[in-house]
Homo-oligomer: A and B are copies of this chain.
Amino acid sequence: MDVAVAPIAFSGSHIDRADHIRNDPAALDALRTAQARLLRMDGLDPVLTDDSALAWGSLADASADSELVFLGIAQGVDGEHGCFAEVPATTPSGGPHAGPASWNAMVVLESGELAAYGTARALVGWHMRHRFCAVCGSPTALAKGGWQRTCSNAACKSEHFPRVDPVTIMTVECEGKLLLGRQPRFAPGQYSALAGFVEPGETIEEAVKRETFEEAGVRARDVEYVISQPWPFPSSLMIGCHAYADDPAIVMDETEMDDVRWFTREEVTDALAAVARGEQGKAFGAPPKAAVAHALLRWWADRG
Decide if A222 is an interface residue (CB 8 Å cutoff): yes
Which residue from B158, B164, B199 sits with its C-beta under 8 Å from A166? B164
Complex A-B, nearest 9 residue pairs according to Cβ-Cβ distance, in ascending order: A119-B201, A122-B200, A132-B137, A225-B225, A204-B228, A137-B137, A130-B134, A203-B228, A166-B166
Given contacts A203-B8, A203-B230, is CB(A237)–CB(B132) below 8 Å?
no
Q: Mark A204-228, 1 if CB is under 8 A from B, else 0.
A: 1110001000100000001001011
Q: Let me know if A119 and B200 touch, CB within 8 A.
A: yes
The answer to whether A205 touches B3 (Cβ under 8 A) is: yes
Establish whether residues B134 and A235, one from each chain, have CB atoms under 8 Å apart when the complex forms. Answer: no
Is A133 at the interface (CB under 8 A from chain B)? yes
Whether A203 lies near B229 (C-beta < 8 A) is yes
Q: Do A133 and B132 touch across chains, with their CB atoms under 8 A apart?
A: yes
Residue in contact with A164 in the complex, picked from B134, B198, B229, B235, CB distance below 8 Å:
B198
Residues from chain B with Cβ under 8 Å of A120 in the complex: 201
A3 CA to B20 CA, complexed, in Å: 36
Are B228 and A118 in touch, CB under 8 angstroms?
no
Q: A1-38 interface mask toward B, CB cutoff 8 Å, 1 = contact, 0 = none?
A: 01100001011110001011001000000000000000
Instruction: Tell me whether B134 and A197 are in contact (CB under 8 A).
Output: no
